[in-house]
Chains A and B, each alone.
Chain A
Amino acid sequence: MLCLGVETSCDETAVAVVEDGRRIRSSLIWSQIEKHQKFGGVVPELAARCHLEVISRLTADALEEAGVAPGALNLVAATYGPGLIGGLLVGLSMAKALSLAWQVPFVGVNHVEGHIYANFLAHPELEPPLLCLTVSGGHTQLVLMPEHGRYELLGQTRDDAAGEAFDKVARVLGLGYPGGPHLDRLAQTGQPGLTLVHHDALAGTYDFSFSGLKTAVVNLVHNLKQKGEPIPVADVAASFQRQVVSILLDRAFRALAATKVKTLVLSGGVAANSELRARFAAEAKARGVKLYCPPLPLCTDNAAMIAACGYFQWLREGASSLALAAVPRLRFEPPLAGTEENTP
């Protein structure tokens, strides 16, 4: 069973071919980062234009690299949300047309669910039940997955996504865009001992809040500037990163203890952070938890995860309608009963 995956929800155009939901035959990513760099963030209209310019060539290349003739595909999966509407529509529309032309089923995939499935590609032996922590520029979610296609949202961010907080702090410290990787590198050269005054108001819950921590950094930098003192950027980066990872670690391992699940998977672009990986690995070892983390190219946005997720979704639920609309603010459904008040 060969599935074509298409992902255009943010600033990466991606097309992949995945066999039986587990084996990557090809996974191509066309990053637009350079196009958006001078603007300090993703420009939605520009992103949509770029997606359209490269998508047909990228699709042809993905098939060629997979060694697959166009007529040999059995399924087409595309992200239908959450994401930027202009970009989503490019990938979704092309995917539907491909399914129509090839006369094969089409499935619309939730991008965040796709991130979880990056782990199924990387680790053939992985099976639910598991707990998944998704940390990216757009999402910070803690989800219990008792079986394929069933999710219970345990917690999520009340304000900024973790990756968003990384980017903002990087900007305050005058680092380049995107901020996450820059901050990670810089933090490795600093001491994490600085006091960043903030209050973890959500301690004891599974929800996250990073805006207080971000403000603490802004205030610290501002105060030093006012006093004319040098800003120890590496130490600030290290201290901020230390605390973000501590919060993520606290929520994830308390949830593991409470649910008695023994498998933790990480997903999303921030899962590439070196301190996060190291501390989660150490904690997992100490607590006898199996930790899975996709390799770096599968952590960030890619289409292989969309194809994998689409395949398992098709097995359970069959095809999506060709009239499926793009949903920029698509939620992670169905939420666990009683957690609706947690959603912003």
Chain B
Amino acid sequence: MRVLGIDTSAQSGAVGMIEGTQVVFTEQITIRPGGSEQLPALLAETLARTGRDIKELELIAVGIGPGSYTGVRVGLAIAKGLAFGLGVPLVGVPSLRALALNGPADARLICALARSRKGEVYAGLYRPGPEGVAEVVPPAIWTVPELTAALQEKDEPVLFLGEVLAEDAAELAAALKERASFGHGAENVVDGARVARLGLAHWLATKENQLDTVLPLYLRRTEAEVRWEERCCRADVSS
């Protein structure tokens, strides 16, 4: 099956195509902040350069985050347009799981990270195995001290992958000392072909087209909703 994988959940964007087990192309692109809407142009260029026709695609896979709300939404909107336009199914894959696939097979524990607000990160824990990576702890929002404490309990080497702020990385490194190691360069960016690979496995296992149902992994309600509920709770208590 020919599968396109895209991910725009972090600072960089990724687009990759696989044909069965072969990688046709995989591109990691630097997009200006908030410029993920440029991905369709880059996809068109990549297809032209590699001599592939968009109509060959049989499945679209997209990273659902967690990460930048806007970035994830753009990725999903592009994926929906492609899947609907081509009349092929769409599947969503957790972006942190795809990121964890960048780690070497002999890594013990992989902590895949994405930027959240100040002082917080999105993190998921994965263990490499014969079938890719197994999820140990699903993606969630962590403060850096909470994450450090949880990893200290694990008592094994941890490989951190992802684009995080330098001060957060420094804090993790200082706490875990020699047990912490960090990915380099492209290892820290989701690989579009790996998104495609995860999407293909999911599709073969479920045959569920998520065109109308796939949702970003926001992990958080909007601030307006949170504030509104806080107000309501206070009103409930005082009445």
Interface residues of A (CB under 8 A from B): 38-39, 43, 45-46, 48-49, 52-53, 55-57, 59-60, 70, 85-86, 89-103, 321-326
- Residues on B with C-beta less than 8 A from A324 are 37
B235 at the interface (CB under 8 A from A): no
Q: Are A96 and B215 also in contact (CB < 8 A) when A101-B82, A322-B44 are?
A: no
- Residues on B with C-beta less than 8 A from A93 are 36-37, 39-40, 73-74, 77-78, 81
Instruction: Check if A85 sits within 8 Å of B85, measured CB to CB.
Output: no
Instruction: Check if A97 sits within 8 Å of B40, measured CB to CB.
Output: yes
Q: In whole Å, how far is B194's beta carbon from the nearest beta carbon of chain A?
A: 21
Please name the residue on chain A nearest to B86 by beta carbon.
A101
- Assembly CA distance A120 to B81 (angstroms): 28
Q: In whole Å, how far is A317's beta carbon from the nearest beta carbon of chain B?
A: 18
Q: Which of B118-126, B156-164, B222-230 contacts A (4 or more CB under 8 A)?
A: B222-230
- Assembly CA distance A59 to B85 (angstroms): 10
B contact patch SS: helix
Q: Mark B81-119, 1 if CB is under 8 A from A, else 0.
A: 111111100000000000000000000000000000000
Other-chain contact of A102, B85, B215, B224, B225 (Cβ < 8 Å): B85
3 closest cross-chain pairs (CB), A and B: A101-B85, A97-B81, A93-B77
B43 at the interface (CB under 8 A from A): yes
Instruction: Check if B82 sits within 8 Å of A100, measured CB to CB.
Output: yes
Instruction: Check if B69 sits within 8 Å of A45, measured CB to CB.
Output: yes
B67 at the interface (CB under 8 A from A): no
> Told that A45-B69, A99-B40, A100-B85 touch, could you supply 6 new A-B pairs with CB distance under 8 A?
A52-B76, A53-B215, A92-B37, A97-B80, A98-B81, A325-B37
For the complex, count residues of B whose C-beta is within 8 A of A.
37
- Assembly CA distance A60 to B225 (angstroms): 30
- Residues on B with C-beta less than 8 A from A55 are 77, 80
Instruction: Check if B222 sits within 8 Å of A101, measured CB to CB.
Output: no
- Residues on B with C-beta less than 8 A from A57 are 212
- Assembly CA distance A101 to B77 (angstroms): 13
Q: In whole Å, how far is A57's beta carbon from the nearest beta carbon of chain B?
A: 5
Q: In whole Å, how far is B59's beta carbon from the nearest beta carbon of chain A?
A: 13
- Assembly CA distance A251 to B211 (angstroms): 49
Other-chain contact of A89, B77, B81, B222 (Cβ < 8 Å): B77
- Residues on A with C-beta less than 8 A from B30 are none
Instruction: Check if A45 sits within 8 Å of B77, measured CB to CB.
Output: no
Please name the residue on chain B nearest to A45 by beta carbon.
B222
Instruction: Check if B77 sits within 8 Å of A97, measured CB to CB.
Output: yes
Other-chain contact of A97, B69, B70, B82, B211 (Cβ < 8 Å): B82
Q: In whole Å, how far is B77's beta carbon from the nearest beta carbon of chain A?
A: 4
Instruction: Check if A52 sits within 8 Å of B216, measured CB to CB.
Output: yes
Instruction: Check if A325 sits within 8 Å of B73, measured CB to CB.
Output: no
Instruction: Check if A39 sits within 8 Å of B224, measured CB to CB.
Output: yes
B41 at the interface (CB under 8 A from A): yes
Instruction: Check if B38 sits within 8 Å of A323, measured CB to CB.
Output: yes
- Residues on A with C-beta less than 8 A from B54 are 100-101, 103
- Assembly CA distance A70 to B83 (angstroms): 12
- Residues on B with C-beta less than 8 A from A321 are 41
- Assembly CA distance A102 to B54 (angstroms): 9
- Assembly CA distance A97 to B82 (angstroms): 5
Q: In whole Å, how far is A267's beta carbon from the nearest beta carbon of chain B?
A: 27
- Assembly CA distance A98 to B34 (angstroms): 21
Please name the residue on chain B nearest to A42 by beta carbon.
B224
- Residues on B with C-beta less than 8 A from A103 are 54
B200 at the interface (CB under 8 A from A): no
Q: In whole Å, how far is B133's beta carbon from the nearest beta carbon of chain A?
A: 27
Instruction: Check if A323 sits within 8 Å of B41, measured CB to CB.
Output: yes
- Residues on A with C-beta less than 8 A from B39 are 93
